[in-house]
Structure 1
């Protein structure tokens, strides 16, 4: 469906049209590209894929930096022709320092999630998104230089915090962007197409980082992903606009359809109702759901490889293969369930039912799978359980992941910043809890206890969301529509244009 909607040839042609910028080209581009919002959804997908792929590089780099390798040095006596072989590491980082380097990104990410949501609400969200990726790429280029020139642990730690701060804007800016571009009937579809990149990132990131490290050494990962991120940012900033009314390369039919089915009202800093947001029960339902999701999703990047390696004692190559399968399942389910969710809403299922249904099924299955994971004695069975558990996250995204736009579309960026920021705290806490438990108990018992705790957390957060979530625009998020657009005038796109 996506290939039919937007082929590579159409995307390339549209980019050429943006460069030429002639009146005839505008009309031609509108005819060729079809629906501009789907081009933007695919570009946003790549905009999340690249940073998520970028996050895979640090784990592989740390393995290379801290592993022992042979070095030939003088033997130390008066005979300068004698040498000896010693084993050294490229950096003298302790396990504590390694953990701090891994956590530093998420410290910055958490600190800037709420400010990122505020910025993407006040300023054009497309620019916030583009500059966030560009800034993260800049820091990515700098990290290997700091290590190579031995600038020290502190410099890398601080730079990783800044990189995390730049990426703290990603999800809030995507939600703020779609509040202008996603008609109510297509929110699930467009948001999950964008989030498709979130699932694809690890699938592509781990193999590419592994291949580049093996062939060219670990800094190649940082240069590759940095170049990809900067290139994407330039294309995104050239093609995207804040809202349809500012886009020269969108058909009048599509622009009218989007504007009649979204809120196009601009928001100032003083209009954000912080107290109403923070005391809203439906908002806290989203926050609690995000806590459950982040507890295991963020842990999957750092903790799960350690679990598989320590419990099943398999090679890194095989573990990389086993780790990629759950993300493939997630990548398939994320956009598929978004399309199904929109179809259910169009067939008169209530929005709140659809959100609760997908959230309960997706994260409920995940909770059950994590309850059983610690009991499993075989690697292939653990992979199957993880594939079902983590893969079902793709179902749950059509639940709470889109709900920000349902209950407060004009403040969706702020809501995403708050929920993602608080949720990431759980993601930071999970590996720490896992390390403490596994240090106090045997390998099998420690991981068993941790996964039981994880399963219970999922089931509690799913239950809270199922009770308190809402699908209606909240009273504090209702503002007067721009003149000339009334509810009675809002209508779907004609069939021949859909």
Structure 2
């Protein structure tokens, strides 16, 4: 397609705009409709959008832009619904493993997408990438509706032993809780704001380098990566591997050695972001060496630990309001996902090695700020938003 770089940028950004604009409203809709229903509905809509992507692209760039915007709007429910379902299904001792097993699918799907897209495109044509993936999404949506239940009590084949185990160690006091959102407590919560800032940092780095790593390899290292799906998949392979390991390690240390959840989250987020900053600084000094690729891949490996801690911390702070925290995380992700690649693109647009060094310095600063803020204000303690006041009033009434 003969589209200008500006139009291509608008098309790529359209889904992020939809994700940012509709994130918080979708959270309230999830609370009313439930996680299973809205996730299934959104996945069905996403699959239909995928099936029509090739047709929209052939029609006009503005049709594709509109479809990408709708796609982003539909994606707003994915993480909040995942979190609200995990809050009902996860025993406290296994929440880190279950969270990471859920989110690692993002990287696994991307790896498969990169690996299969080139083969499909060269074999039967690029439109079939969207037809095949859209069809698979639709099948998954049907399986979701048939197999998934909103909570353990509703599952038709769950054993009494498993149900008792989940309820005994449940993260929720009451699955049916519909209390008003305690806005004041949430908006003044330093642990929540520190979590959002740490998440902003990790997503800023992630999308910046997903977008510009091929450019670095081509223009600086002079590596031929055209049609090399494996090279494009390497960052996701690193992140997926570390994400799974991080979740298992967290539960192991918490359950066997009684390591504090707050200490673990701070170790994962602060030290990994600090190491990312060091790696970016090292990369700036060895910019024309092949080792710079190793530095970037190590950054992605550490990102898996951070992302695992960020999403598990969602359930730490408040399982009852995990849908709202997840929506806030997605909003911060959408904003940083737009800013990161855009700022890097503006800097790199001038060309030259010095511009790459500036990008590395900027990314190192973002990592350090995010890590220091979380190390100072972060927490894995249940915030019990709105409950202390209710308990106090109840005690007075009883007295």
Do they superpose with TM above 0.5?
yes
Deviations 1:124-169 (A, max 9, x none): 2122222222211111111211223x2x222211110010111121
CA pair 118-300 structure 1, distance change in 2 beyond 3 A: farther
Which secondary structure state, in structure 1, belongs to the residue aligned with residue 246 of structure 2?
helix
Q: What displacement does 1:356 show?
A: 1.0
Please name the residue that 1:94 is paired with: 4
Determine whether 1:353 maps to 2:263: yes
Whole-Å separation in 2 of the counterparts to 1:130 and 1:310:
43
Residue 116 (structure 1) aligned to one of 17, 26, 35: 26
C-alpha distance in structure 2 between counterparts of 1:479 and 1:226, whole Å? 47
The residue number in structure 1 matching 2:208 is 299
Q: Which deviations, in whole Å up to 9, do the C-alpha atoms of 1:224-247 show, x marking residues without a partner? A: 110111111111121111100111
Larger radius of gyration: 1
3-state SS in 2 of match to 1:312: coil
Pair 480,332 (structure 1): closer, same or farther in 2 beyond 3 Å: farther
Asked if 1:403 corresponds to 2:313, the answer is yes
1:343 aligns with 2:252: yes
Higher mean alpha-carbon deviation, 443-452 vs 186-195, is at: 443-452
Moved more, 415-424 or 362-371: 362-371
Q: Give the alignment of 1:160-309 within 5 angstroms.
A: 160-262=68-170, 263=172, 264-268=174-178, 271-309=180-218
Query: Are the equivalent residues in 2 in contact too, given 1:327–1:387 (CA < 8 A)?
Result: no
- How far did 1:480 drift? 12
Please say if residues 323 and 383 of structure 1, whose CA atoms lie closer than 8 Å, have aligned partners that are also in contact: no
State the partner residue of 2:397: none
Structure 1 residue 319 displacement after superposition: 5.3
Over the residues paired in the alignment, what is the CA RMSD in angstroms? 2.0
The partner residue of 2:379 within 470, 473, 486 is 470
1:354 shift after superposition: 1.3
Deviating more after overlay: 248-257 vs 322-331: 322-331
What are the Cα deviations for residues 29-86 of structure 1, in whole angstroms up to 9, with x where unaligned?
xxxxxxxxxxxxxxxxxxxxxxxxxxxxxxxxxxxxxxxxxxxxxxxxxxxxxxxxxx
Question: Secondary structure of the equivalent of 2:163?
Answer: helix
Shift of 1:220: 1.2
Cα contact 1:121–1:411 (8 A) shared by 2: no
Return the alpha-carbon distance in structure 2 between the equivalents of residues 153 and 163 of structure 1: 15
Structure 1 portions without partners, runs of 5+: 1-90, 482-498
Contact kept in structure 2, 1:305 and 1:319, CA below 8 Å: no
Correspondence for 1:425:
335
- Normalising by structure 1, we get a TM-score of 0.74
Q: Distance in 1 between matches of 2:94 and 2:389?
A: 23
Aligned to 1:392: 302
- What pairs up with 1:98-177 in 2 under 5 angstroms? 98-148=8-58, 150=59, 152-177=60-85
When residues 300 and 231 of structure 1 are mapped into structure 2, their CA distance, relative to the original with a 3 A threshold, is farther
Distance change >3 Å, CA 447–CA 378, structure 1 → 2 = closer
Q: Which runs of 5+ in 2 are unaligned?
A: 391-399
- Partner residue of 2:286? 376
Task: Give the number of equivalent residue pairs.
Answer: 387
Which whole-Å CA distance do the structure 2 matches of 1:131 and 1:363 have between them?
A: 36
Deviates more, 1:223-232 or 1:471-480: 471-480
* Partner Cα distance (1:164, 1:339) in 2: 31
373-382 vs 245-254, which moves further:
373-382
